[in-house]
Amino acid sequence: MPTHSFKLGVLVSGRGSNLQSILNQIEEGTVPAEVAVILSNKENAPALERGRQSGIKSLFVNPKDFTNRADYDSALVGILKEHGVDLICLAGYMRILNADFIRTFAGKIINIHPSLLPAFPGLNVHQQAIDHGVKFSGCTVHFVEEEVDSGPIILQAVVPVEKDDSAESLADRILQEEHKIYPEAVRLLAENRIRIEGRRVSIQEFTE
Ligand code: GAR
Protein backbone atom coordinates (compact mmCIF):
# COMPACT_ATOMS: atom_id res chain seq x y z
CA MET A 1 0.00 0.00 0.00
CA PRO A 2 1.40 3.44 -0.87
CA THR A 3 1.84 5.80 2.10
CA HIS A 4 0.40 9.32 2.02
CA SER A 5 0.08 12.22 4.38
CA PHE A 6 -3.73 12.37 4.00
CA LYS A 7 -4.94 9.84 6.54
CA LEU A 8 -8.32 8.14 6.63
CA GLY A 9 -10.17 6.47 9.46
CA VAL A 10 -12.87 4.14 8.13
CA LEU A 11 -15.85 3.07 10.25
CA VAL A 12 -17.58 -0.15 9.20
CA SER A 13 -20.17 -2.63 10.40
CA GLY A 14 -20.42 -5.26 7.69
CA ARG A 15 -19.36 -6.47 4.27
CA GLY A 16 -16.89 -3.68 3.53
CA SER A 17 -17.23 -3.50 -0.25
CA ASN A 18 -17.03 0.31 -0.16
CA LEU A 19 -13.95 0.09 2.04
CA GLN A 20 -12.50 -2.31 -0.52
CA SER A 21 -13.22 0.08 -3.40
CA ILE A 22 -11.29 2.81 -1.55
CA LEU A 23 -8.41 0.43 -0.75
CA ASN A 24 -8.26 -0.67 -4.40
CA GLN A 25 -8.06 2.91 -5.67
CA ILE A 26 -5.36 3.76 -3.12
CA GLU A 27 -3.42 0.69 -4.21
CA GLU A 28 -3.76 1.70 -7.85
CA GLY A 29 -2.49 5.19 -7.02
CA THR A 30 -5.71 7.01 -8.02
CA VAL A 31 -6.59 8.14 -4.49
CA PRO A 32 -3.70 9.96 -2.76
CA ALA A 33 -4.55 8.84 0.76
CA GLU A 34 -3.73 6.17 3.30
CA VAL A 35 -6.13 4.25 5.53
CA ALA A 36 -4.62 4.68 9.00
CA VAL A 37 -7.20 2.67 10.93
CA ILE A 38 -10.44 0.74 10.45
CA LEU A 39 -12.94 0.52 13.31
CA SER A 40 -15.94 -1.78 13.52
CA ASN A 41 -18.77 -2.13 16.02
CA LYS A 42 -19.28 -5.73 14.81
CA GLU A 43 -16.71 -8.39 15.65
CA ASN A 44 -17.38 -10.54 12.59
CA ALA A 45 -17.58 -7.76 10.02
CA PRO A 46 -15.90 -9.04 6.82
CA ALA A 47 -14.65 -5.46 6.42
CA LEU A 48 -12.17 -6.06 9.29
CA GLU A 49 -10.71 -9.03 7.44
CA ARG A 50 -10.37 -6.96 4.26
CA GLY A 51 -8.46 -4.32 6.22
CA ARG A 52 -6.18 -6.89 7.84
CA GLN A 53 -5.43 -8.43 4.46
CA SER A 54 -4.25 -5.01 3.32
CA GLY A 55 -2.02 -4.75 6.40
CA ILE A 56 -4.13 -2.03 8.02
CA LYS A 57 -4.83 -1.81 11.73
CA SER A 58 -8.44 -3.05 11.93
CA LEU A 59 -10.09 -3.02 15.33
CA PHE A 60 -13.35 -4.32 16.72
CA VAL A 61 -14.50 -1.90 19.41
CA ASN A 62 -17.13 -3.75 21.42
CA PRO A 63 -20.16 -1.60 22.35
CA LYS A 64 -20.76 -3.96 25.29
CA ASP A 65 -17.52 -2.75 26.90
CA PHE A 66 -19.09 0.69 27.40
CA THR A 67 -21.99 1.72 29.59
CA ASN A 68 -23.39 4.22 27.12
CA ARG A 69 -23.14 5.55 23.59
CA ALA A 70 -21.29 8.72 24.61
CA ASP A 71 -18.45 6.69 26.17
CA TYR A 72 -18.31 4.42 23.14
CA ASP A 73 -18.12 7.32 20.70
CA SER A 74 -15.51 9.08 22.79
CA ALA A 75 -13.38 5.93 22.71
CA LEU A 76 -13.62 6.01 18.91
CA VAL A 77 -12.63 9.70 18.92
CA GLY A 78 -9.56 8.79 21.00
CA ILE A 79 -8.44 6.06 18.60
CA LEU A 80 -9.03 8.23 15.51
CA LYS A 81 -7.06 11.12 17.05
CA GLU A 82 -4.24 8.77 18.02
CA HIS A 83 -3.96 7.83 14.36
CA GLY A 84 -3.98 11.45 13.21
CA VAL A 85 -6.82 11.02 10.75
CA ASP A 86 -7.69 13.86 8.37
CA LEU A 87 -10.97 12.35 7.18
CA ILE A 88 -13.41 9.82 8.59
CA CYS A 89 -15.30 7.67 6.08
CA LEU A 90 -18.43 5.89 7.20
CA ALA A 91 -18.60 2.84 4.97
CA GLY A 92 -21.68 0.86 5.91
CA TYR A 93 -21.33 1.95 9.56
CA MET A 94 -24.77 1.22 10.96
CA ARG A 95 -24.63 3.17 14.24
CA ILE A 96 -25.59 6.78 14.75
CA LEU A 97 -22.67 8.95 15.89
CA ASN A 98 -23.31 11.26 18.82
CA ALA A 99 -23.12 15.05 18.61
CA ASP A 100 -19.74 15.25 20.40
CA PHE A 101 -18.14 12.94 17.86
CA ILE A 102 -19.57 14.94 14.96
CA ARG A 103 -18.50 18.28 16.49
CA THR A 104 -15.00 16.98 17.20
CA PHE A 105 -14.50 16.17 13.53
CA ALA A 106 -16.75 18.87 12.05
CA GLY A 107 -16.53 18.92 8.25
CA LYS A 108 -14.26 15.87 8.28
CA ILE A 109 -16.77 13.02 8.27
CA ILE A 110 -18.34 11.65 5.11
CA ASN A 111 -20.86 8.90 4.48
CA ILE A 112 -22.20 6.92 1.54
CA HIS A 113 -25.94 6.32 1.40
CA PRO A 114 -27.72 4.14 -1.17
CA SER A 115 -30.35 6.65 -2.36
CA LEU A 116 -30.54 10.05 -3.96
CA LEU A 117 -30.77 12.07 -0.75
CA PRO A 118 -32.85 13.78 0.51
CA ALA A 119 -35.09 10.99 -0.80
CA PHE A 120 -35.21 7.84 1.33
CA PRO A 121 -32.95 8.47 4.33
CA GLY A 122 -32.69 5.84 7.05
CA LEU A 123 -33.04 2.08 6.65
CA ASN A 124 -34.59 -0.33 4.10
CA VAL A 125 -33.68 2.25 1.52
CA HIS A 126 -34.05 0.14 -1.63
CA GLN A 127 -37.46 -1.20 -0.65
CA GLN A 128 -38.55 2.34 0.19
CA ALA A 129 -37.55 3.46 -3.32
CA ILE A 130 -39.36 0.53 -4.99
CA ASP A 131 -42.49 0.99 -2.88
CA HIS A 132 -42.56 4.70 -3.67
CA GLY A 133 -42.45 3.93 -7.38
CA VAL A 134 -39.51 6.15 -8.30
CA LYS A 135 -38.11 5.58 -11.80
CA PHE A 136 -34.57 6.45 -10.79
CA SER A 137 -32.58 5.98 -7.60
CA GLY A 138 -28.87 6.04 -6.89
CA CYS A 139 -26.36 6.89 -4.22
CA THR A 140 -25.02 9.92 -2.40
CA VAL A 141 -21.72 10.81 -0.74
CA HIS A 142 -22.34 13.56 1.79
CA PHE A 143 -20.81 15.28 4.79
CA VAL A 144 -22.16 14.00 8.08
CA GLU A 145 -24.08 16.36 10.32
CA GLU A 146 -26.03 15.71 13.48
CA GLU A 147 -29.28 14.99 11.68
CA VAL A 148 -29.01 11.58 10.02
CA ASP A 149 -28.38 11.51 6.22
CA SER A 150 -28.69 15.29 6.04
CA GLY A 151 -25.33 16.96 5.39
CA PRO A 152 -24.09 18.79 2.26
CA ILE A 153 -23.92 16.56 -0.81
CA ILE A 154 -20.53 15.95 -2.44
CA LEU A 155 -21.34 13.48 -5.25
CA GLN A 156 -24.34 11.53 -6.48
CA ALA A 157 -24.87 8.86 -9.14
CA VAL A 158 -28.17 7.86 -10.70
CA VAL A 159 -29.42 4.42 -11.75
CA PRO A 160 -32.78 3.41 -13.29
CA VAL A 161 -35.28 1.40 -11.25
CA GLU A 162 -36.52 -1.45 -13.46
CA LYS A 163 -40.12 -2.63 -13.23
CA ASP A 164 -39.21 -6.10 -11.95
CA ASP A 165 -36.52 -4.93 -9.51
CA SER A 166 -36.31 -6.47 -6.05
CA ALA A 167 -34.57 -4.63 -3.22
CA GLU A 168 -31.57 -6.90 -3.88
CA SER A 169 -31.31 -6.29 -7.62
CA LEU A 170 -31.66 -2.54 -7.13
CA ALA A 171 -29.07 -2.63 -4.32
CA ASP A 172 -26.62 -4.45 -6.62
CA ARG A 173 -27.05 -1.86 -9.37
CA ILE A 174 -26.60 1.03 -6.94
CA LEU A 175 -23.59 -0.60 -5.25
CA GLN A 176 -21.66 -0.58 -8.51
CA GLU A 177 -22.04 3.19 -8.57
CA GLU A 178 -21.18 3.52 -4.87
CA HIS A 179 -17.85 1.88 -5.64
CA LYS A 180 -17.11 4.63 -8.17
CA ILE A 181 -18.27 7.76 -6.35
CA TYR A 182 -16.97 6.98 -2.85
CA PRO A 183 -13.29 6.69 -3.85
CA GLU A 184 -13.80 9.69 -6.14
CA ALA A 185 -15.09 11.80 -3.24
CA VAL A 186 -12.14 10.72 -1.08
CA ARG A 187 -9.77 11.65 -3.91
CA LEU A 188 -11.32 15.15 -4.21
CA LEU A 189 -11.00 15.70 -0.46
CA ALA A 190 -7.43 14.39 -0.38
CA GLU A 191 -6.61 16.81 -3.20
CA ASN A 192 -8.21 19.62 -1.16
CA ARG A 193 -10.61 20.40 -3.99
CA ILE A 194 -13.88 20.54 -2.05
CA ARG A 195 -15.44 23.80 -0.81
CA ILE A 196 -18.66 24.06 1.20
CA GLU A 197 -20.88 27.13 1.18
CA GLY A 198 -24.02 26.57 3.20
CA ARG A 199 -25.48 23.40 1.80
CA ARG A 200 -23.70 23.66 -1.53
CA VAL A 201 -20.48 21.83 -2.24
CA SER A 202 -18.29 22.93 -5.13
CA ILE A 203 -15.39 21.12 -6.72
CA GLN A 204 -12.30 23.13 -7.64
CA GLU A 205 -10.26 22.47 -10.76
CA PHE A 206 -7.13 20.43 -10.17
CA THR A 207 -3.94 22.50 -10.08
CA GLU A 208 -0.52 20.89 -9.59
C1 GAR B 1 -23.82 0.29 1.26
O2 GAR B 1 -24.81 0.04 0.32
C3 GAR B 1 -23.99 1.66 1.87
O4 GAR B 1 -24.47 2.61 0.96
C5 GAR B 1 -25.02 1.39 2.93
O6 GAR B 1 -24.64 0.15 3.49
C7 GAR B 1 -23.99 -0.63 2.47
C8 GAR B 1 -22.67 -1.08 3.03
O9 GAR B 1 -22.06 -1.99 2.14
N10 GAR B 1 -25.03 2.43 3.92
C11 GAR B 1 -26.12 2.87 4.52
O12 GAR B 1 -27.24 2.44 4.28
C13 GAR B 1 -25.88 4.00 5.50
N14 GAR B 1 -27.10 4.63 5.86
P15 GAR B 1 -20.51 -2.31 2.27
O16 GAR B 1 -20.28 -2.74 3.73
O17 GAR B 1 -20.30 -3.44 1.32
O18 GAR B 1 -19.73 -1.09 1.93
Question: Which of 202, 171, 170 has the alpha carbon at shortest distance from 189?
Answer: 202
Tell which atom from ligand 1 comes closest to the C-alpha of 13.
16
Q: Is the CB of 51 under 6 A from ligand 1?
A: no
Find the mean pLDDT for residues 28-56. Answer: 98
- Check 113, 126, 142, 179 and give the catalytic one: 113
| 136 three-class SS | strand
Pocket test for ligand 1, best of 116, 178, 179 (most atoms within 8 A of CB): 178
Q: Pick the atom of ligand 1 nearest to 178's CA.
A: 4
Looking at the predicted structure, is the pLDDT value of residue 208 above 70?
no
Distance of CA 103 to the CA centre of its chain: 17
Instruction: Give the residue, by CA position, lying nearest to ligand 1 atom 14.
Output: 113
Domains of the chain with bracketed CATH: 7-203 (3.40.50.170)
pLDDT per residue over 6-18, tens digit each?
Answer: 999 999 999 999 9
End-to-end CA distance of the chain: 23
113 catalytic? Reply is: yes
- Å from CA of 208 to ligand 1 middle: 33
Q: Tell me the whole-structure pTM to 2 decimals.
A: 0.97
Is residue 206 over pLDDT 90?
no
pLDDT value at position 2?
A: 74
Residue 72 near residue 18 (C-beta atoms within 8 A):
no
pLDDT tens for each residue of 62-110: 999 999 999 999 999 999 999 999 999 999 999 999 999 999 999 999 9
CA dist list (Å): 83 to 9, 89, 99, 112, 117: 8, 14, 21, 22, 31
For 178-201, write each residue's pLDDT tens digit: 999 999 999 999 999 999 999 999
DSSP calls for 86-105: SEEEESS--SPPPHHHHHHT
Q: Distance from the CA of 176 to the center of ligand 1, in angstroms?
A: 12
